[in-house]
Structure 1
Amino acid sequence: MLDLKDALLRIDVVKQATGLSRATIYRRMKTNDFPAPCRLSARCSRWPAESIRNWIQAQRSLAESV
């Protein structure tokens, strides 16, 4: 059975989940402020759903501590 917590997400899904643009995602990746994707091939990258969920939770925690 497929467990979605282990899913690999396309950039469009990551954009929708985070509310960030593609450019912002890649800009944050360069400064290590966003999880890097898994490279499946030279032209195919996917983000583990768990790493995106963890990043969103970390952002919520930061917002609550301010």
Structure 2
Amino acid sequence: MSEKKERLIRLEEVMNRTALTRSLLYKLVDAGEFPKGVKLCSSAVAWPESEVDKWIAARIEAAKQE
């Protein structure tokens, strides 16, 4: 069996996939309601794609419960 490698996605893609603005995304990160990014270097951050996918799935599931 081959294991899927984790992919890191940059801010622009995270914003496109979640429909969040930059400021709201960082507010959610600060509040512990969105996964923290991985610092790649002093000026670059990315997010593990699987964590973003889990967050999106959880939001969809919560909307179904309302």
TM-score by length of 2: 0.89
State the partner residue of 2:37. 37
Instruction: Provide the alpha-carbon RMSD of the alignment.
Output: 1.6
Greater helix content: 1
1:18-57 map, 5 Å: 18-57=18-57
Tell me whether 1:11 sits opposite 2:17 in the alignment.
no
Percent identity (aligned): 27
Taking the aligned partners of 1:4 and 1:12, their CA distance within structure 2 comes to 23
**Whole-Å separation in 2 of the counterparts to 1:57 and 1:43:** 29
Residues 1:38 and 1:26: Cα distance change in structure 2 (over 3 Å)? same
Aligned residues: 64
Does structure 2 retain, via aligned residues, the 8 Å contact 1:4–1:49? Answer: no
**Using the alignment, how far apart are the partners of 1:5 and 1:26 within structure 2?**
26
Q: What stretches of structure 1 of length at least 5 have no aligned partner?
A: none
Q: Distance in 1 between the 2:63 and 2:37 partners?
A: 24
The runs of 4+ residues in structure 1 deviating greater than 6 Å are none
- TM-superposed CA distance for 1:4, in Å, is 7.5
Q: Which amino acid aligns with 1:63?
A: A
The one-letter amino acid of 2:56's match is: I
For the residues of structure 2 that align with 1:31 and 1:41, how far apart are their CA atoms?
23
